A and B are shown apart, each in its own frame.
Chain A
Amino acid sequence: AQSVTQPDIHITVSEGASLELRCNYSYGATPYLFWYVQSPGQGLQLLLKYFSGDTLVQGIKGFEAEFKRSQSSFNLRKPSVHWSDAAEYFCAVSGGDMRFGAGTRLTVKP
C-alpha cells in the first residue's frame, strides 16, 4: 500500500524567505501526488498535483513542487513566503484511495 512521510512536523521561516517542505512517498507504480493546505479549523485545499510529464508542477498561491523519482520525493517550494501562508501542509499519494502524510505546520515570522 502507498504511504507518505513528511519529515518536518513544524517549520518556521521569516516572511520573504524561501520555503521548502519535504515529502517522501512509497508506492510501487507511477505515483499520483498532491499537496494540500489547511488553515486552522478548515478543510483542505488542493495546491497542486502531479500525474506525469514535466516533473516541476506549478500550483496556486505561487507554490511549485518537483517530482524526483530517484529520491521518491515530491517537495513543495515557494520563493518568497507571505504571512498568509502560515498553515498546515499535507502531502498525499493516490493509488486508489488517497494516503496523507502527517502534515507540516508552517509558522511565518514577521
Chain B
Amino acid sequence: DGGITQSPKYLFRKEGQNVTLSCEQNLNHDAMYWYRQDPGQGLRLIYYSQIVNDFQKGDIAEGYSVSREKKESFPLTVTSAQKNPTAFYLCASSVWGSLADRGYTFGSGTRLTVV
C-alpha cells in the first residue's frame, strides 16, 4: 500500500547536536511538507517542496534545513541553532497543481526530545 513513512518514531537529541528526521513516500506525490506540532498550537509549517531540488521556507524555518534530491524523500535536519526543538514532527505529501486534489497524506510522526 502507498503511504508515507517517517523514521524514527522517537528521537533523542543532546544539546548542540544536529539530527535528521527521515520522510519517504511512495504515493508519487509532487509536493512534500514538514510541520511541527506543539500542544495547543496546531501544526506550523517548517518547509515545503513542490518539486525535486526546490523547497521553500514556511513560517518557522529558522534552525531547520531540508533537501529534496529525490521525489520520494524529504529529510528534515534539526540543527543546533533550533533552541527549542522538543516537539512532534509531521511529514505530509500531496499532488501539486490542483487545489481540489490537495488533501494531504500524513506520516505517523517523529517525536523529538532534547535530553
Interface presence of B12 (CB below 8 A)? no
Within 8 A of B (CB), among A30-64: 32, 34, 36, 41-46, 49, 51
Q: Are A43 and B42 in contact, with the CB atoms below 8 A?
A: no
A94 touches B41 (CB 8 A): no
| CB closest residue in chain A, given B108 | A43
Instruction: Decide yes or no whether B87 CB sits under 8 A from chain A.
Output: no
Interface string of B99-110 (1 = CB under 8 A from A): 110111111110
Contact A101 B42 (CB under 8 A): yes
Contact of B106 (CB < 8 Å), options: A44, A49, A95: A44
Chain A 1-49 interface residues, beta-carbon cutoff 8 Å to B = 9, 32, 34, 36, 41-46, 49
The count of chain B contact residues (Cβ–Cβ below 8 Å) is 25
Task: Return A107 CB to nearest CB of chain B, in Å.
Answer: 15
Q: Is the CB of B99 within 8 A of A94?
A: yes
Nearest to B106 among chain A residues (CB) is: A43
B105 / chain A contacts, CB cutoff of 8 Å: 46
B43 contacts A41, C-beta separation under 8 Å: no
Report B39 CB to chain A, min CB distance, Å.
9
Residues of A within 8 A of B88 (CB): 41
Tell yes or no: B71 within 8 A of A by CB.
no
Interface residue? A100 (CB, 8 A): yes
Q: Is residue A90 contacting chain B, with contact meaning CB distance below 8 A?
A: yes
Give the complex CA separation of A99 and B92 in angstroms: 13
Q: Is B90 an interface residue (CB 8 A)?
A: yes
Residue of B nearest to A91 (CB): B42
